[in-house]
Amino acid sequence: MKVLILGAGGREHALAWAAKRSERVTEVVCAPGNGGIAQVARCVPVDLKNVDEMVRLAEAEHPELTIVGPELPLSLGIVDALQVRGIRVFGPTQAAARLESSKAFAKQFMKRHKIPTANYAVCTHAAELEGAIGYFHAPIVVKADGLAAGKGVIICESRATALEAAHGLFNGTLLGESAEQVVIEEFLQGEEISFLCLSDGTHVAPLAPAQDHKRIGEGDTGPNTGGMGVYSTDEMLEPHMTEWILRHIAEPTVRGMAEEGTPFVGVLYCGLMMTPRGPEVLEYNARFGDPETQAILLRLESDLTDVLEACIDGKLANTAMRWTRGAAACVVASSAGYPGGYKTGFPITGLARAAQVPGAQVFHSGTARVGSQIVTSGGRVLGVTALGDSLPEALGRAYQAMAEIQFEGMYYRRDIGHRALEKKA
């Protein structure tokens, strides 16, 4: 079986690595891929913003299975475009991907289907905004409607700053493009959990739970990023809590999408806040998380291609997933300056020594190969990931592997998993 993966980050490296482990898979192609992915897959260039180009590539490569990594091609309708040409593809259609690509759609959908989420208002112009903001107590969360690569959420300490932020989204000064809709939302408090499930349109199957660390700084300080590290253990969600989330969030989401004529097939990523009144949805993503996938797939014992095909074929109910007990942790190494501006092209050393640490896997997020040298090419550069019998062991191995690696300006958080460790102590 030949597998084509669309994407270029650490998530796609983990997907390529997991696909490659399958006994059924003879070849993995990744488009466009990166310097690390090239070690497990044949990388071919493609523009992830250009549906026609991706379709031409898939038609030329003839994969038996295509996996779409990032949200952008999903929101542009790559799955619809491949499906009409009879190409087997894992991921939601453009209409189903609106759960991620439009926050207004997602909020209104949750309201229609009584799925727990923060109270909100969707505003389409400034006057509406001024009326709505009076109903909220500070802090107030202001969100751009569309995809914004993690930059579209502003937490405001007063109504005045919330108004200013919302105006900034409307007039384009904040994100460069002017928003057509702005969501104002109640601020939720608690711990965040990334609850990812597979869906075949009818059934859902949860993946191992994970906790992401979104802020750049230790102690969860500083600006939001794509994710600076993640850990996954069995203990982070009690079985009754997993049941509750399935019953009240994941299953009603998939049922609601099917009832509305836009069945959701793919990875339903529920970003949850564990509030005092129970889990509430902060956001949906319509894809695997990054870096969640790096830690989650390290724990997956089942054949990745089997479970993704079960989703495409509507046979998820008969598919059991096996997981390695214990823990996995992923620590992201980023370029100096990220999530702001950064320089690239710096040589990375120590990758071979890092790979020798027991249980460790180094997934590449933003790297390129220049001759025989791997160099930095992105904000997030590496996801150093490790398995362990316990969280301290997994974290210890990830940090041990990280200590072998160097590049100019390399930064990583030294406190990934800290809250779980403190809770245990």
Instruction: Write out the residues near ligand GLY by the rule CB under 6 A.
Output: 212, 227, 285, 289-290, 292
Q: Does 169 bind ligand AMP (CB under 6 A)?
A: no
As given in the structure block, the two tokens for residue 415 are 């406190």
Residue closer to ligand GLY (CB basis): 10 or 388? 10
Only one of the segments 75-83, 107-115, 187-195, 200-208 lies at the binding site for ligand AMP (rule: CB under 6 A); that segment is 187-195
Cβ 280 to ligand AMP shortest distance, Å: 8
Q: Phi first, then psi: give them for residue 233, nearest 5 degrees.
A: -135, 165
DSSP assigned state of 389: S
User: Which residue of 12, 185, 200, 303 would you call a contact of ligand AMP, by CB under 6 A?
Assistant: 185
| Pairing mode, strands 215-217 and 221-224 | antiparallel
Q: What is the DSSP string of 58-118?
A: HHHH--SEEEE-SHHHHHTTHHHHHHTTT--EES--TTTTHHHH-HHHHHHHHHHTT--B-
Cβ 419 to ligand GLY shortest distance, Å: 16
Quick check: 265 and 201 in contact, CB under 8 A?
Answer: yes
Q: Does 70 bind ligand AMP (CB under 6 A)?
A: no
Rounded to whole angstroms, the Cα distance separating 152 from 157 reads 16
Rounded to whole angstroms, the Cα distance separating 287 from 308 reads 12
Residue closer to ligand AMP (CB basis): 39 or 181? 181
User: Which residue of 192, 220, 251, 260 would you call a contact of ligand AMP, by CB under 6 A?
Assistant: 192
Residue closer to ligand GLY (CB basis): 92 or 289? 289
Residue closer to ligand GLY (CB basis): 295 or 375? 295
Q: Does 214 bind ligand AMP (CB under 6 A)?
A: yes
Which does residue 188 bind out of ligand AMP, ligand GLY, none, counting CB within 5 to 8 angstroms by kind?
ligand AMP
Using alpha carbons only, what angle is made at residue 352 by residues 347 and 355, rounded to the nearest 5 degrees? 125
Residue closer to ligand AMP (CB basis): 20 or 151? 151
Q: How far is CA 118 from CA 150, 188, 273, 283, in A?
A: 18, 7, 9, 10
Cβ 212 to ligand GLY shortest distance, Å: 4
Cβ 139 to ligand AMP shortest distance, Å: 8
Residue closer to ligand GLY (CB basis): 71 or 309? 71
Rounded to whole angstroms, the Cα distance separating 98 from 263 reads 11
Which position has the token pair 């982070």? Answer: 236
Residue closer to ligand GLY (CB basis): 185 or 212? 212
Q: Does 354 bind ligand AMP (CB under 6 A)?
A: no
Residue closer to ligand GLY (CB basis): 227 or 417? 227
Quick check: 37 and 364 in contact, CB under 8 A?
Answer: yes
Rounded to whole angstroms, the Cα distance separating 269 from 272 reads 9
As given in the structure block, the two tokens for residue 147 are 């995809």
Rounded to whole angstroms, the Cα distance separating 296 from 269 reads 13
As given in the structure block, the two tokens for residue 423 are 């809770």
Which does residue 290 bind out of ligand GLY, ligand AMP, none, counting CB within 5 to 8 angstroms by kind?
ligand GLY
Residue closer to ligand AMP (CB basis): 91 or 271? 271
As given in the structure block, the two tokens for residue 86 are 């009879």
Largest Cα separation within the chain, whole Å, is 60
Which does residue 285 bind out of ligand GLY, ligand AMP, none, counting CB within 5 to 8 angstroms by kind?
ligand GLY
Q: How far is CA 64 from CA 86, 199, 300, in A?
A: 10, 20, 22
Which does residue 185 bind out of ligand AMP, ligand GLY, none, counting CB within 5 to 8 angstroms by kind?
ligand AMP
Q: Does 283 bind ligand AMP (CB under 6 A)?
A: yes
Cβ 19 to ligand GLY shortest distance, Å: 19
Binding mask 102-131 for ligand AMP (x = CB under 6 A): ----------------x-------------
Would you tell me which residues interact with ligand AMP (CB under 6 A)?
118, 141, 143, 153, 185, 187-188, 192, 214, 224, 271, 282-283
